[in-house]
Amino acid sequence: MSSTVTQERLTGRAWAVLFVLCGAIFLEGIDVSMMGVALPSIRAELGLATGELQWIVSAYALSYGGFVLLGGRAADLLGRRRMFVGWLVVFLLFSGLGGFATEGWVLILARFVTGIAAAFMTPAGLSIITTTYPEGPQRTKALLVYAGTAAGGFSLGMVTGGLLTAIDWRWVFFAPVIVSAAILVAAIALLPRDTPSAQPRQGFDITGALTLTASMLLLVATVVRAPDVSSAQSLATGLGGLVLLAAFVLIERRVSSPLIRLGLLRNTALIRANVGAILLIGSFVGFQFVTVLYLQELRHWSELETGLALMVIGIDSVLAPTLTPWLVNRFGNGRVVFGGFVLAVLAYAAFLPLGSTFAAMLPAFLLLGLAFALAYGPLTIAATERVSEDEQGLASGVLTTSFQFGSALGLAVVAAVLTAADELTIDGFRNGLVVPLAAAVLGVLVAVGGLRIPVGKQVSANG
């Protein structure tokens, strides 16, 4: 890209571009977390069951995850700035539509389309970073600030969601419209123009995108509906999802312009990072779903009290751009990710007794915030380093697919466990919390593989 920054430290212009891109990922983070806090209020007004309620989050996550590879491809071929700005407009419009919903299906549909918009917008933004800032200290610093902003948006969204839901849950949809409009104006003014690929006529793998999305929908639906349908029906839908996933792989082998070049999957560090992303986000989203329902429906906390309690996890937004770069430079990505998953295990285990006071929950929230600060940014770096520039959008899309599928899958498993209980008692919520704990333990096992990478081969985090 012609605007590639060459100085050792970020210039004012470079910071301005990063600010716009961080604004978009902040919007995505705050949008998702505000929704989590608002779910009990939405359930009360629209009369949704627990299984239906999770689709408000899952519809967004699955459409996001299903189309993000196509979004990454579109960014590489059609221009990153064009994709970022255009789909930000769609995000704005359908977020507003959700605020006017009076039926559950309308709300779910609005979330599904908003997820598609995010699927094109987010990889474009991330690939603007990875093609604007050279690999090394600058890119590492930009990615860690970017990841810290995403985490901060997620954390701040919990409080903002509580405040807005206390007024009316519809403001959880209207507020992102205002933020989107501000980011749109800044993006048009500041984002550098790029040159689309010289081969834009190669085409797009629409069939692959639809097959992947349908596969994920069936797999998640299998988990969610398992408590309410026969084992034969669950087996049928589960096999259907796996067949579609296999069909996706075959399509990618044969199509002239695949969503994902399967050779990219030979990068073991990339695979490890993406599996880690599935487990990290899946465990957290499942934990948030259980915690919000527990606090509001069993302990009768208000939306604001719930948001303020969960805001403690937002310590990651301070630590990610400050402590994490130093740790990555000193110990390497693999060791920092490993430490993050260990802390996540401790956090979920500490919350498992389900204390009734904030003081009893505080250690778990603090540990979880620190865990996110250590794991999220380094996973992002590991998933995009040593990938050629013309495939940065693809690598970004693969990572985002993992984040979103992990979110939907973790939420689906937790919802299925809660639905299986006759009523939501302390024991039922405790059973639900076993899911994120188990996912974090698996994350530790996955992260062990990264410990073999010498620290000297990790990307420096100074800058």
Say if 77 falls within a structural domain: yes
Say if 463 falls within a structural domain: no
**Same domain, residue pair 413 and 440:** yes
Say if 164 falls within a structural domain: yes
pLDDT at residue 422, as a whole number: 67
**Same domain, residue pair 94 and 51:** yes
Those residues of the chain that have pLDDT short of 70 are 1-10, 151, 195-203, 389-390, 392-393, 422, 452-463
Q: Other CB atoms closer than 10 Å to residue 69's CB: what's the count? A: 28
**Same domain, residue pair 25 and 169:** yes
Q: How far is CA 77 from CA 83, 103, 205, 248, 394, in A?
A: 10, 38, 12, 21, 11
Choose the final residue of a domain: 232, 258, 284: 258
pLDDT at residue 4, as a whole number: 44
**Same domain, residue pair 154 and 252:** no
**What's the longest Cα–Cα distance across the chain?**
62
**Same domain, residue pair 363 and 410:** yes
**Same domain, residue pair 272 and 413:** yes
**Same domain, residue pair 235 and 320:** no
Say if 215 falls within a structural domain: yes
**Global confidence as pTM:** 0.79
pLDDT at residue 462, as a whole number: 35
**Same domain, residue pair 304 and 239:** no
Among residues 106, 30, 32, 124, the alpha carbon closest in space to that of 70 is found at 124
**Same domain, residue pair 73 and 97:** yes
pLDDT at residue 387, as a whole number: 73
Give the single-character DSSP code of 195: P
pLDDT at residue 330, as a whole number: 87
Number of domains in the chain: 3
Say if 1 falls within a structural domain: no
pLDDT at residue 72, as a whole number: 76
**266-308 pLDDT, tens digit each:** 778 788 889 999 999 999 989 989 999 999 989 999 988 988 8
Range of the domain at 241: 206-258
Say if 197 falls within a structural domain: no
CATH number at residue 289: 1.20.1250.20
Buried b (16+ CB within 10 A) or exposed e, 343-359: bbbbbbebbeebeeeee
**Same domain, residue pair 240 and 283:** no
pLDDT at residue 202, as a whole number: 56
Both structure tokens of 238: 């589960």
Say if 6 falls within a structural domain: no
User: How remote is the C-alpha of 53 from its chain's centroid?
Assistant: 19
